[in-house]
Every structure is written in structure tokens, then in C-alpha cells.
Chains A and B, each alone.
Chain A
Amino acid sequence: MSNLPPNPYNSIPGPPQMNAYGGPQMNHNQPPLGQPNYSGLKADANSNSPVHAPVTLRQDNAQYGQHQSVNNYNQSSNSSPAFNRPGAVPISSALPPSMLPPMKNNPMPSSASHFPNSIIPPNVPLSTSSPKPVSNVNTSSPYPPSFIPPGRQINDNAPPLIPSSQSLHQPVMNGPSGPPAMPGPPSSMPSQYPPSSRAFSPPGVIPPTSAIFGPPGQVNSMYGPPQPGLKQGNAPLTGPPTPVQRSSPVVTGPPPNVQRPVGVAPPVTSAARPIGVNGGSSFASIPQVSQPNLGLMGPKTNIPPVGPNPSLGPPLNGPPGPTMQPGASPSRPLVPPSNPLVSGPPTGPQSLPPMGPPPGISRGPVQSSQTGLPSGPTMGPPSYASMGPSVPPIGHPPMNPAMPPGPQGLQGPPGLQSGPVGLQSGPTGLQSGPTMGPQSLPPMGNQMPAPGAPMTNQPMSNMQPRYPPMPQSNYNQGQVQPPRPYPQQYNTHGVTQQMGNLSVTKQGFDQLWGHQNVDLLQTRHILPEYPEDLPEIRLGQQFADAPNCSPDVFRCTVNRIPETNNLLQKSRLPLGILIHPFKDLNHLPVIQCASIVRCRACRTYINPFVYFLDSKRWKCNLCFRVNDLPEEFQYDPVTKSYGDPSRRPEIKSATIEFIAPAEYMLRPPQPAVYLFLMDVSQLARESGYLEVFCKTLKNCLDQLPGDARTQVGFICFDAHVHYYLMSDDATRPKEMTVLDIDDVFLPSPESLLVNLQERRELVNELLNVLPRRHAAPAAPASALGAALQAAYKLMAPTGGRITVFQTCLPNVGPGALQPREDPNARSSKEVAHLNPATDFYKRLALDCSGAQVAVDLFLLNSQYADLATLSGMSKFSAGTVYHIPLFNAARAWQADQLKRMLNRYLTRKIGFEAVMRVRCTRGITIHTFHGNFFVRSTDLLSLPNVSPDAGFGMQLAIEESLTDLQQVCFQAALLYTSSKGERRIRVHTLALPIASTLPDVLHSADQQCIIGLLSKMAVDRCASASMSEAKEAIMNVAIDVLSAHRLAQNLPAGAAGSALHAPASLRLLPLYLLALLKRVAFRTGTSTRLDDRVADMCGMKTSPLSQLLRRVYPDLYPVLELSEEDEPPRLQLTAERINSTGAYLLDDGDTLILYICHGASPAYLSDTFGVTSFNQLPDESRSLPVLDSPGNQVLHAFIERLNDDRPYPANMLVLRDNSPSRMLFTERLVDDRVESAFSYYEFLQHIKSQVK
């Protein structure tokens, strides 16, 4: 094999890598020993392919090592052979092994994180804990470390909520929760307990949880499926002795860290403490907290860190406390136990008074329970007593039956949250000690009522490993010191107790488990100042370290799939996935091999989540069929060794690209063919776009993705169709006009579409001449339909891309349309004409789709052009709609915008004749697709072209119960022809764990993804029903979800009083929903042109999530005090955040609006804009002056950073706060009241009044 090529490839990126990886790569290419064999080997199912070329692995350097990944990062830009880039890529295209270009560069350097494997940082899950944990730990405080490891999962959850900075809240939380809980709980506990648990679990909570946990336990799953669980379980079991257990839990990895924190505690305890630490980092934290609130903070901090400290913190504490209290009381017990557990150990009392109390508290109850319990059960009881409350419930039930109590006990701690579970389990718990059972249970019960119950599942998973040790330690400790600590704490936290300690405690635990609640009404600034980490996906132990697909590529609305449709319905959440399959990636492993390993039954590609039964067989993770593993799959290209199939790139990366052998081709890969269809009617000539387009295209001709076969063609149309012949012998392009538009014909197809390289001169000449040729006034008629038919005829034999520029309503010939919009009804409540007036364009698109032709539309209209109808040509042919309303090239900024758009459009990567299939684990089916494509069968999308800027959404339905599964997987496989004429398959695999309880589902929701999916669903609803129904549906989402949450919390009706609780994972949902309602697409009451509305809808259907979110809820930054290093915080979109002396930058994806208030200091103005006073600023400026001053440069640098992650740079708009057009800015402050639309607070009130 031409191994060498790789080197060149590598070389480009960077020498270092070369060295390091050079070896391996080489190997890959030449699977020395193996390859020959391989080639010879039976190809297996896949291997039908005639091509038996030796198996060549192309990998990006990065795959195997972090170093690599890093390098790749850098390289990406250079090396990426990006398909698009004609020149750049050496071209792996060459099928032969020689090609190294494993990596495809994506233009976008920014997104380095794609590969889970390669890049640790992005995917938390991959790396155990090392990187993140550390950071977190530091920030959060002592316990964090302990937590971190065990719980990266936990941590993840935590981070989103609040930034670490908020220590205050945390302490408070801790304090109160711990102490108060203790006192109250005992008596009341029992009663509450049962009820709560029943309410919750009755349906399935207990049994399910136990079942779940018991065996493999979902929780266990987190760390490992049942099997793993067993192991762990054993460990803990054996562990019953505190030390052992501790160790086991510790195992996860965090231990060291944990210990440190623990270490603080006294020696004796130390043993226990460590456990405590491990078991529940949270616990550990608590004790610490007690000292200080910090401990509490720790946990909370984890969660909160992301969120705005002030806002979240207070609200959390306050609201939960009061509201919760009634129900929360149970929670308290939980807390105390936790404290005891953690602090319980000697250290707690000794070192810190606060600590002592918590333990004491816990002890108190514990002891009682314990005492009640015979020593025999030690393990069991301990868990209950101390840990018991929290952990036991969960762990016990499952554990008891199957396993020795010990392990469960351990889990128990995690159980805190599980409190509810505990209740359930409680009975089971009894097993350990009859006496104990009852006693312990009551506490549990108390806890249960609180949110904790819902938590159980998650907590379990996280906690289990850690906790086990804890309980024991606690137990012991608890016995020893039960009483004292309690009182102490009590005194200390008297105030907090009043607050509703129980609830606080519960909160602390909830946070640990990632089940925090937020009182929306009390949280004034709910938007996190800095983007939060996405909720982490925690898979079972077996796959805990498996690389999952990047959330930029593949996202699900919930990170834990409800196990039954019933549960999904209860949660009222939309279930769906968003996928951005052709996103530009920085590190993409590319593999070429003779046979691609796929499941024989369902044709799933082998992926990181398959089960290897032995070295010869693997079990499909979608259909569970057992398949043979081809021998060559055991060859590891990196080490040149045989044996471990798990080292293959297919197993190490959830996103991978194969170079497809011949059996994946229905015909030889098509060349890149581009046809440009230009409107030259009167309006088009007035707009002057043609000049801009021709210039831009001329500049981009060299960068058009394609190879030597690339063809281009041009057709203009007004009342007639103008062809441009560029034949061999001609020295100048010849224009031929066809007058008959009702029955178009092609004059001489071979000279209409010409090879770009051969006729380069002619093409250049034509682009020079065209604008002048169509400068004179013409008839105001546009025969778009006829031109499209001609274009289709021209393209049908090869396939390719048609680019249509349209500036007015097509009004003659086939496909002629009538103006439908009533300008007087632009602000009416009901919006009509959102559906196409004719199916001409749709049918044409379907024809195009069948011929592998995509139609992209640039609508540059200055008057109504019926985009609702015209967009059909792009919608069903997998094209894209670009819209610049009121375009006039005389406005430099619009010309500039078009130029940037075109630059990106013309030079970005492109995939031809593509199909995408999305496979789901058995039991889940795809219900509806969203995006631009044609659905060819239930899971197959036909995409004549696929672009890196196209996103797709799919609604899912759960058709069978998933109860017996560990996880659910989705695999999207995109088969396409690169512009180099290579057939490639890009495969993305996403795995998600299962949730069995309502709270788990709600707390694992991904609010951003939900908004993405909802916006698509709402657009559909507008078309199928009406605008008002769509808006109603959007509002109902918030109401339904929060109602479900109330149900999940088991709050009695009316108990919440003045609070509106939302799971932390969904706290931004109302904010986003309100913003969505005020989007151009859905707003009513404000004058909105129909085409703008439809264009916005088209955008929602096809934008990738990151862009969509920015459109829905723009980012607002204060830019008065920008610095090079720090990103400014994001502000909520309300006028109350706008200071009259400030300057703000609002980024909605398409436009960056710089808004300068009149009070801005002259120093700032001169530094940034070069003017001495506010009045010298222009009313409205479309550019930011470039000055030599630091302020100006910092601002430019910041804007550049913002522009980095979007396809093309956004427009710039500078406004003064007294400009006539300041509405452009103020109308985007979507939290404020606008005529006929709620403000955020009103919206919350409305929701609250509806929530049942």
C-alpha cells in the first residue's frame, strides 16, 4: 500500500504528529501481516465488494491519542482535505490505500470537539474524570473533587445550574436542609414517606426502580449493565465492612480526590469519610458544607455554577424551601442522613461543628433506626440509618433481594435523592433488619416526598458506587455520636430551619443528583451568563467510557429515553432527535476497507456500542442479532497487532466515515455539476444582484468543490429563457433565447453545461458580460417555471445542483403565480397563505429529487414573491432557501451580505446523490421528519445534495416497551458522493440510557433540543392547521411539562402557593418558548411580510440547532468593558438589563447589532468609534470603523470570535439608542412586553394559572 501518502497528509498538519503517529499510520496502510490475509479473507457479508484492495485504514491522527487530537485540531484547517476544497485535498479520493487523508478537514476549525475519542474535553464522558473533574473541583470547592470523579455524571448535571461562584446559596441550602430535616422528619416522616412514595412510584416507581436497579439497575447501568453492577455489587457486598465498601465505591476513580477532601476530616473517621466522600461526593460535600455552607455549596455549586449565581441561587433556596417544606419535610431526613454519612464520621464532629450536627442529625434518626435494628444486619441498617434515607431506598429494594444489603446500602447514599425509592425499598430494606426496616423507612419517607423520590434512579446510578462505603461509615459514626451533632447543627442553623430545612436539604441532594428544581417566578435572571455544559449522557457501566456522538451532530430532546410510551406521555415532552449529519468536522476518522462491518439483519454499521460476545462475534445494538466478526476487523492498524477489536477506529469513534466500495454505487459517482438560473426581469435588473453574483462567482470559480469533471452552466430568464452556449469552437459565449416558454426545449445541451476547466475562459467571459447584457430595462415578467423545467431537463442525466436567483413573483408560463398577500392583513391574528398555491414547484422538486438534482433558492425580492409556493422547489429536493428581503445591490451592506453568503455557499463542501438512513433501536420508530428532503421510505431520506449547513429533525415514537434494555441507540448513516467523485458513508451513532421514572425523564430533558424540535413541529402545525393553533400548541408545551413536573414532584394541588417549579433541566424552556412565539415566523400583531415569515419558517426547519437557538433567543453581551481574555457574560433580553451608560452587542445569528446608549462615556466612544461625543455617531451604521485604538480592536476581535462558529459572517449594525431604527434592537428584547404579546413574567403567570 502506498503508506507514504499518509505522511504527506500528516505533514501538512504538523510534523509532531507525523512522528508520533507516522508509525501507526503506516501500519494502517499496510496492515503488514494481516492485510494480505485480509484482502484474501472472506469479506463476510459486507465483503461482497469486488474491491479487495488491502484494507486501508485512514485515520486522522487524532483518533488514537489525545496528542493527536490536539494536533489534528491545528491541522484540521490545513490538512483537511476537505472535500470541498478542491485544491487542498490531496485527495484521498484516490481509492487506493495511498490516500491518507483520513481526516477531512472541515473548514470550521472551531469545532474540534466532534470526536469524542480524540478530544476529551468536549465529551466529558470519555475521559473518566481527569480533566473536567479537576477543574470543577477547584472551582467548586473541596468536595467537588470527590464528587467529580464518581459523578462526572453528577457534575455534569450540576454545572448547568449554577456557576461555582455562588457559594452563598449553597451553604444556606446545606445548613438548613441538614438540620431541620432531622428534627422534623422522624415523627412525620413515616406518614409522609409512604404517601409520597406511593404517589410517585405507585405506578411503577418502586417496583420498577427496584427491578431496574436491583438487577442491572439503571443506576448500575450508569456504571455498568447488570453484569458490571454485579461486580460492583459484590464489591460493596463484600465491602459491607466499611472499608471494603468504601474502597469499592472509590474505585470509580474519584477516590483520590475524594480522599483529600475527606482527608481533612480526622483520622479515625478518615476511613469512613473517604467512603463518605466517595460514596456521595455529595455527602462529603455536605459535611464540609456544614462547616460552612460551602459543603452544601459544593453540591449545589456543581449544579449551579453555570447558571447565574445570584438569580438561581436565591430562588432555589428560597422557593424550594418554603414551597417544598410541606412536602419537603421528608426530604430533610434524607439530608440528615446524608450529612451523617458524610460528616458522620469522626471528622465531621471534631473538625467542624457544623459537620457534627449533620451527622448528629442523621445519627439521631439513624441510631434510632439502627438501634432498632439488630447489629446483624449491620450493613443493611447502616445504609438505612445513616445513608439509608437517601440511598437505601433505592439500593435496598433491588439489592436486598438479589444482592447482599451491603452494596445496596452503598447505593443507598446516592439514594438520598432516591429517598422516595428508599421508601419503597424501605420495606425491602427491612430485610436487613426487621427492626431497622420500619425505623429507617420513616426517615426515608420523609425524604421521599421531596423531589428526591424522583431522583432515585439517577442518584442510584451515580451514587451507588460511591455510596456503599458511606452508609457503613455513617452507620458506625451515627451510632457513636448521634445525638450531639444534631443539636449542634440545629442551633447553628436555626434560621435555616425556619426557612424550611427539609426542603433545603432536599435541594442539596437534588442538586447532587442533578434533580434540582427552580422556582421560575422567583428567579429573575434565569439565563446563565455563560453557556452551560450540555447535560451529560451517562451510559451504563459497560459503555461509560464509550465515545458518544458529539451533541453538535446528534442530540435528543431527552438524555434518558422513557422506557415506555406511557411514561413519555406522562412527561409531556416531545421526543425527537436533531441531527446535523454533514457538519464540518475537524477530526473525522476516515476508513477504507474492503468490507464494511454491518449487521446482517438490520444493516447497522458496527459502532462503539455493540457488544462483543467474543473475539469472533458481535451483537448488534439496534436489533440484537449476533453477527460474525470478520477476521480483518481484529487487526489494529495503529499497533499493527491482532486481537482486540475494540481498538478499531469504528469502535473508538461514534462518528466515522467509510470510503464505500463499489456495491454502494448504483452508478458511477457523478461529477460535480452546477447550474445557475438567474432572474433578469425588470425587478432583478433594478436590484443589481447579477453584478454581485457574477463577481463573486468569478472569484470563487477555483474554489468550487469538484474535480476535473466539474461542469457549470448558466441560464437567464425574464419573459423568455436565455441560454448561453459555450461550445468548443466559440471564442465567446453565445446567447440563445427561446421564446416559447410553454414548451421549453434545450438548444444544444452539450454546450450549455460545459467542463469548467476546459472552458474556463468562456465562463469568465460570460460572467464579465452578463451584467452588462442585462442592464437595459426589460419586461416585468418572470418565467421561472419554464426556466426550471429547462434546467431539469439539462441536469437530469447527471444530477447536480441548480442555483436559482429570483427577485419577483413568477408571473408567466408554467408555474405562474398570483399575488396572494394582502398588505393590510400583515399584522392580523390569523395568517393565511402559508401553504403553496400550486404544486408545480413541488412536483418539479420531486422530479429533480429523482434525478439527483437539488434546487437552491436565493430569494432577493423587493416585493411579494410567494415564497410559500416557491420554497417547494428547495424543500423537496434537499435544497436551501436563502432570503434577503428588499435586496438592492446599491446598498453596500446588502451587496456585502449576498457576497458573504455566496462565498460560503459556493465554496462549502457538498455531497451529491446522497441518502440518509436513520436507524433506531427496536421499539423506537421515526414518526415524522423535519428538514428539506424527500422521504423515500420510513427511515430513508433522499438528499440529492447535502450541505454542511443543513440540519434535520425527527420525531420519535416509542412503539414497544424498552424496559429490558440498557440503552437506546440511534444511528444515522449518510451515503454520499463527494465532490471528488468518491462514494463515502458518514456514520453517527448516539446511545442514550433509559429512564424508568417520570422525574428522571424530566430532569434529563435537553431544553435546547426541545426548542429546536418544537419550532419545527410548530412550523408544520402552521401549515397543516393554523397559526393560532401552532401558537397555542407552543404555549401548551410549557404548561404540560410543568404540570407533569408537578405531578412528578407529587406536590399537592395548590401546595406550591406562589411558586412555579420547574426542573433545572427545563428552567429555560418558558423563556425560549416565549421567544419562539415572538419570532418573525410566529409573531402576530406586528406587521410582518408574508415572505419574511415563510423564510423564517424555512430557516427553522433546516437550521442546525446552534443557529436556530441564536435566532430564537439572541445573545446579548455588554461590550462596554470588553477584554481580550474574557468573554462577556450573556444578558437576558430585557430592557432592564440595558444600562443607559452601556454599549451592547446583540447577536441573532444573521445580524450583530451594536447598541450604544446615550450615557456611554466619551472615552469609550473615542476609543471604540473614534468620535468624541455621542451625537457624532451615525444614526445607523452598517459597519464598525476600524481604528488603531485598543477598545476598537478588542471589539473587532470579539466580533470575529462570534463569527467563527457560523457559516458566514453576520451583518453588522450599529445603532444609537435614539436612532429612528432603534426598534430593530428593542424588538428583540423578547422578555419584555410587546403589544399583543406577553412579557416573560406575564407568560410565567399565565403558565402558572394553567398548570394543574
Chain B
Amino acid sequence: MAFSFPAFSYIIALIVDAFLIFFSIFHVIAFDELKTDYKNPIDQCNSLNPLVLPEYLLHLIINILFLLSGEWFSLIINIPLIIYHIHRYRTRPVMSGPGLYDPTSIMNADVLTVCQREGWIKLAFYLLSFFLYLYGMIVVLIAA
């Protein structure tokens, strides 16, 4: 009895969240490299763009699990980020492939700053939510 669907959701969320943390670390590093001239923006965009949708999907999956398992608190916490992701993807530059980053505009100081800040904020958010999920999992398990 101890292993309920909510507990399962949290366990999956923990695993997925770990991946998301890696994604955002990669993101932060990538933009730092751009800023310090280590990488060509075209290469960097080519490596970043394929990761954007998977990240969004992973994040969406854990929230669907929360929804199904009725973990409203965790869900509510994540909803702003979901909305941001949708908004971000809808307003992306015109491009034929998947992804968000356009090599011709990425070097613009404003864009670069926004992307970098986004990376850090997401990293912090994922880290915090990691502990939240851990806590949630324990609570669910104990409650059960």
C-alpha cells in the first residue's frame, strides 16, 4: 500500500528533474561559452536547439503525472513555468527546425542576457523543485 500513484509520480518527477537540472546546467554553460567567444554561435545553436523541446516535454510529463495523481500543490508550482514555455515557443524566431535559438540574433547582448538569466533561474527552480519532490515523495510514502 505504501507505493501509491502519487508516490510513483514523485519518483518519476525526481528522476526527470535530475535530467532537467542537467539540461539547465548545459544551457548555462553553453551561453557562457558564447559570451566568452569560445564557441561559434551557429554550432552552439545547433547543439542547443534540439534540446529545447525534449526539456519542455519532460517538464510537461511530470506535470501530467501530478495532474493525474492529484498533487495540486506541485502542479500549481509548475504551471507558471509551463505557461512560460508555451509563450516562449510561440514567440520564437522564424525558423524551420525545432528550437528557440537563432544564431543571427543570439549574439545580441539583450538576447544573450535573457537566455543566460533564464538558464540560471531555471536551474534554481529545478533544484528547489527537486527537494520539493523529494519531500513530497516522503510525505506521500509516510502518509500511505
**Stretch from B34-42, B66-74, B114-122, B132-140 that touches the partner:** B34-42
Q: Give complex CA distance A1053, B94 in Å.
A: 47
Q: Give complex CA distance A846, B108 in Å.
A: 16
Tell yes or no: A829 within 8 A of B by CB.
no
**Stretch from A737-745, A930-938, A944-952 that touches the partner:** A930-938
Interface string of B91-133 (1 = CB under 8 A from A): 0011110000011100111100000000000000000000000
Q: Give complex CA distance A295, B122 in Å.
A: 68
Known pairs A846-B42, A850-B42; A927 contacts B104 (CB<8 A): no
Q: Give complex CA distance A875, B102 in Å.
A: 14
* Residue among A839, A925, A928, A936 making CB contact with B41, cutoff 8 Å: A936
User: In this complex, what residue of A is CB-closest to B93?
Assistant: A839
Q: Give complex CA distance A842, B42 in Å.
A: 12
* Residue among B93, B96, B104 making CB contact with A935, cutoff 8 Å: B104
Known pairs A835-B94, A925-B109; A940 contacts B103 (CB<8 A): no
CB neighbours of B37 from chain A (8 A): 937-938, 940
CB neighbours of A927 from chain B (8 A): 108-110
User: In this complex, what residue of A is CB-closest to B109?
Assistant: A927
Q: Give complex CA distance A875, B110 in Å.
A: 20
Known pairs A850-B42, A938-B35; A838 contacts B94 (CB<8 A): yes
Chain B's nearest CB lies how many Å from the CB of A1132? Answer: 37
Interface string of A196-232 (1 = CB under 8 A from B): 0000000000000000000000000000000000000
Known pairs A839-B94, A839-B96, A936-B40; A928 contacts B104 (CB<8 A): no
A846:B104 contact, CB within 8 angstroms:
yes
Interface string of B38-50 (1 = CB under 8 A from A): 0011100000000
Interface string of A821-842 (1 = CB under 8 A from B): 0000000000000011111101
Known pairs A937-B37, A940-B37, A957-B109; A838 contacts B104 (CB<8 A): no
A928:B109 contact, CB within 8 angstroms:
yes
Chain B's nearest CB lies how many Å from the CB of A847? Answer: 9
CB neighbours of A926 from chain B (8 A): 109
Chain B's nearest CB lies how many Å from the CB of A575? Answer: 13
* Residue among A836, A925, A938, A957 making CB contact with B94, cutoff 8 Å: A836
User: In this complex, what residue of A is CB-closest to B35?
Assistant: A938
CB neighbours of A925 from chain B (8 A): 109
B96:A938 contact, CB within 8 angstroms:
no
Tell yes or no: A820 within 8 A of B by CB.
no
Chain B's nearest CB lies how many Å from the CB of A1098? Answer: 15
A935:B110 contact, CB within 8 angstroms:
no
CB neighbours of A938 from chain B (8 A): 35, 37, 107, 109
A839:B95 contact, CB within 8 angstroms:
yes
Q: Give complex CA distance A838, B95 in Å.
A: 7
Chain B's nearest CB lies how many Å from the CB of A823? Answer: 23
Q: Give complex CA distance A936, B40 in Å.
A: 6
Helix, strand, loop or mixed for chain B's interface? loop
A-B contact count (CB 8 A): 49
Within 8 A of B (CB), among A863-899: 875-876
Tell yes or no: A625 within 8 A of B by CB.
no
Chain A's nearest CB lies how many Å from the CB of B45? Answer: 10
Chain A's nearest CB lies how many Å from the CB of B14? Answer: 38
Question: For this complex, into which size category does the number of interface residues on chain B fall?
Answer: 10 to 19
CB neighbours of A935 from chain B (8 A): 41, 104, 107-108
Q: Give complex CA distance A843, B102 in Å.
A: 10
Q: Give complex CA distance A838, B108 in Å.
A: 21
Q: Give complex CA distance A839, B96 in Å.
A: 6
User: In this complex, what residue of B is CB-closest to A875?
Assistant: B104
A937:B107 contact, CB within 8 angstroms:
yes
Chain B's nearest CB lies how many Å from the CB of A920? Answer: 13
CB neighbours of B93 from chain A (8 A): 839
CB neighbours of A846 from chain B (8 A): 42, 103-104
Within 8 A of A (CB), among B5-52: 34-35, 37, 40-42
Known pairs A839-B95, A843-B96; A928 contacts B108 (CB<8 A): yes
CB neighbours of B34 from chain A (8 A): 937
A928:B110 contact, CB within 8 angstroms:
yes
Q: Give complex CA distance A928, B105 in Å.
A: 9
User: In this complex, what residue of A is CB-closest to B113?
Assistant: A927
Chain A's nearest CB lies how many Å from the CB of B3? Answer: 48
The CB with the most chain B CB atoms within 10 A, among A843, A875, A937, is that of A937
Chain B's nearest CB lies how many Å from the CB of A1146? Answer: 37
Q: Give complex CA distance A850, B42 in Å.
A: 10
Chain B's nearest CB lies how many Å from the CB of A284? Answer: 49
Q: Give complex CA distance A850, B103 in Å.
A: 12
Q: Give complex CA distance A929, B40 in Å.
A: 17
Chain B's nearest CB lies how many Å from the CB of A141? Answer: 49
Q: Give complex CA distance A451, B103 in Å.
A: 48
* Residue among B40, B94, B104 making CB contact with A837, cutoff 8 Å: B94
Q: Give complex CA distance A928, B104 in Å.
A: 12
Q: Give complex CA distance A837, B96 in Å.
A: 10
CB neighbours of B94 from chain A (8 A): 835-839
Interface string of A909-926 (1 = CB under 8 A from B): 000000000000000011
Within 8 A of A (CB), among B71-96: 93-96
Q: Give complex CA distance A1122, B104 in Å.
A: 50
User: In this complex, what residue of A is CB-closest to B112?
Assistant: A938
Known pairs A927-B110, A957-B109; A838 contacts B103 (CB<8 A): no
The CB with the most chain B CB atoms within 10 A, among A840, A925, A928, is that of A928
Q: Give complex CA distance A876, B96 in Å.
A: 17
Q: Give complex CA distance A953, B107 in Å.
A: 15
Chain A's nearest CB lies how many Å from the CB of B75? Answer: 34
Chain A's nearest CB lies how many Å from the CB of B110? Answer: 7
CB neighbours of B107 from chain A (8 A): 929, 935-938
CB neighbours of A936 from chain B (8 A): 40-41, 107
CB neighbours of B96 from chain A (8 A): 838-840, 843
Q: Give complex CA distance A957, B112 in Å.
A: 14
Chain A's nearest CB lies how many Å from the CB of B33? Answer: 10
CB neighbours of A875 from chain B (8 A): 104
User: In this complex, what residue of B is CB-closest to A1024?
Assistant: B105
User: In this complex, what residue of A is CB-closest to B40?
Assistant: A936
CB neighbours of B42 from chain A (8 A): 846, 850
Chain A's nearest CB lies how many Å from the CB of B84? Answer: 19
User: In this complex, what residue of B is CB-closest to A937?
Assistant: B37
Q: Give complex CA distance A876, B106 in Å.
A: 13
Q: Give complex CA distance A842, B96 in Å.
A: 10
User: In this complex, what residue of A is CB-closest to B108?
Assistant: A928
User: In this complex, what residue of B is CB-closest to A843?
Assistant: B96
Q: Give complex CA distance A934, B42 in Å.
A: 10
CB neighbours of B40 from chain A (8 A): 936-937
* Residue among B35, B104, B109 making CB contact with A876, cutoff 8 Å: B104
Q: Give complex CA distance A938, B39 in Å.
A: 11
Q: Give complex CA distance A662, B23 in Å.
A: 42
Q: Give complex CA distance A1191, B106 in Å.
A: 57
Chain B's nearest CB lies how many Å from the CB of A72? Answer: 39
Chain A's nearest CB lies how many Å from the CB of B88? Answer: 15
The CB with the most chain B CB atoms within 10 A, among A838, A843, A875, A940, is that of A843
Chain A's nearest CB lies how many Å from the CB of B59? Answer: 26
Chain B's nearest CB lies how many Å from the CB of A57? Answer: 33
Chain A's nearest CB lies how many Å from the CB of B144? Answer: 52
User: In this complex, what residue of A is CB-closest to B111?
Assistant: A928
The CB with the most chain A CB atoms within 10 A, among B42, B94, B96, B104, is that of B104
Q: Give complex CA distance A840, B95 in Å.
A: 8
The CB with the most chain A CB atoms within 10 A, among B35, B37, B102, B103, is that of B103
A927-B108, A940-B37 given; 18 more Cβ-contact pairs under 8 Å: A836-B94, A839-B93, A839-B96, A839-B102, A850-B42, A875-B104, A876-B104, A927-B109, A927-B110, A928-B108, A934-B103, A935-B104, A935-B107, A936-B40, A936-B41, A937-B34, A937-B41, A938-B109
**8 A-B contacts, Cβ less than 8 Å apart?**
A835-B94, A839-B94, A839-B95, A843-B96, A850-B42, A934-B103, A938-B109, A940-B37
Which residues of A approach B to under 8 Å, CB–CB?
A: 835-840, 842-843, 846, 850, 875-876, 925-929, 934-938, 940, 957
Lowest 4 A-B CB distances belong to which pairs? A935-B107, A937-B37, A927-B109, A839-B95
